Structure 1
Amino acid sequence: LDDSHSTADTEILSQSSQERQTQWPEQFDVPNFSVDVEYRLRQANLLYLRDGTLLKVTKDLKHKILERLAETMYGFTAYPNNAQFEKAAAALINKHPCLQEKGSTSCCSGWKNSLKYKMANYRSKRRQSGCRDVAVNAGKCGGHSSPGEPANKNIKKAKKGKLNFLPNFPDGFDQTGLEDARKILVDEMQKRTPNGQLVKEKMDLTFALRRREVVETKPAICQMVERWPALFTEDQ
């Protein structure tokens, strides 16, 4: 390997992240909504089964349904593709047939399009609250980059089933605290027989710091070996 180029990508990172996204399921399960929404849908479904009447969805009801769906989808991926939006929308009307749409061949194209907009809004909320996994991708074109910083054009967005692209630091830890944990790791790895449990705990704890280094500074392999020697052990 040429140390002058960074090849420290997702594959060589520790697989024991504190913050993961679950792989997209074969069958999307529509989550339970609030008690009020569930009651309204249950009554509307009974009416639909009786005489085929579709529910006239109010703006407030639609907002609550889409918000809950977006939250659930985000647990799988921050960037659903077209097929995943289709599956989520289809699952919604299958579970709640009263929500089917007239004039649509799929009976849910409107829900699918609304989900796309809601998902974009949900990512914006996450970004504004400081979630790095979407903030880094929002700056790809420069629109959300910090003043004076170039657009992150070379950064790829996270893919389904993979680790969050830039997970937030663990609760109660800042960069200084995680850097201290990294130094403990380095000291431990210099011992003849490192404490395996301690190494695992510190590697889990410092995953977000390690990931941020890889994404933002693109270090060479030699630098990664120096700063994260435990990363290149068999256990990791």
Structure 2
Amino acid sequence: MNSHLAGKKVLITGASSGIGMYLAIHIAREGGTPILAARSVNRLKIITQQVQDRFDVPCYWYEADLSNDAAWKDVVDRICFEHGPLDALINNAGMAVFDYVSEAKWQDIDRMLGVNVKSLIRTTHQLLPHFLNRKQGHIVNIASQAGKIATPKSAVYSASKHAVIGFTNALRMEVEKDGVYVTSVNLGPVRTNFFKEADPSGGYEQAVDKMMLDPNNVAYTVVKHLFTERREINLPAWMDSGSKVYQLAPTLMEKALKRQFSKK
């Protein structure tokens, strides 16, 4: 197979559904080797079997709770021991609970920061020496347009994604001289199970239904840009334009879009 992904080993977190599942499929389609990590063992087994049967490439899965730092570190160590140096890391795992800060539960806040920020930095920190030693590799961090435009009831989630974007931008500058690519993927709402936990009422998902991104298309776009020097992937394009206007005139945007911002 003449593909830039042929034989490449790619670790995908949050790989049991949604974007993570489609990332595995598109990587395998291009001859790559997906290495999947998530909590749902049953889902991981099904995806792994389907990928192997359909594309005739190796695919591996690991049960992992990324909110448990010590346990996740051990899983990453095991992955490195069993597979040797990896070629790419896609930090896809993420979660949210939409609430006003005054009404939020601390355990929800702690878990959001643990999964969205700490585990992402943990995985990157653990694998980065392998990439630097080989003078190659690609780190892709799935962030969010919420990291650029904050809205009510998403203060902690927005803060976590703002942290991801900041971390990604700084890391990119640190390692570009060493041949390692770093990309931030900033997404609007995606049609996945994400909102079942973020907003169990279903109100927000219904409100943004017409603008939701297809996870299959998102994954295809990310995989297409693997091992290329891409600073950011912003989807949808119109939302990226809105975030740029927001940076120039935040007060005006907040007043003009107050109703839309408060749909959660």
- Asked whether the two chains share a fold, i.e. TM above 0.5, the reply is no
Higher-strand-fraction structure: 2
- For the pair shown, the structure with the greater C-alpha radius of gyration is 1
What TM-score does the superposition give when structure 1 sets the normalisation length? Answer: 0.28
Greater RCO (CA < 8 Å, at least 6 residues apart): 1
What TM-score does the superposition give when structure 2 sets the normalisation length? Answer: 0.26
